[in-house]
Amino acid sequence: MSEITVLIPELIGVYIPYNFAWNTAAAWDNIDPEDIVVCQCGPGHSLYWEAWDNILLTATFTDGEARVWRLQQEGDLLAYTGDGEEFV
């Protein structure tokens, strides 16, 4: 069974990666620091969306119960744990 939580609401729009990079990314693992720097520059950076795609594909967070969380953007930025089958 999966668990899902909204990290950043879709109303932030193109600034979701920017917001994540400045406020949330430090708690996550497996993110290339260069991708964070690019996202911190904002949507005007030529590699912004490529860096964001990399983060979505690689980022993980392990909670206190040893559950591994991953990211998915479906409008809202979501964190999920489990198989992610609901996104297929």
Round to whole Å and give the CA distance between 7 and 47.
23
Q: pTM (2 decimals)?
A: 0.91
pLDDT digits (tens, 9 = 90+) for 34-80: 999 999 999 999 999 999 999 999 999 999 999 999 999 999 999 99
The residues spanned by each domain of the chain are 3-87
Residue partners of 76: CB distance under 8 A and separation at least 6: 6, 7, 8, 9, 10
Confidence of residue 29 (pLDDT cuts 50, 70, 90): very high
Round to whole Å and give the CA distance between 54 and 52.
5
pLDDT of residue 88: 47
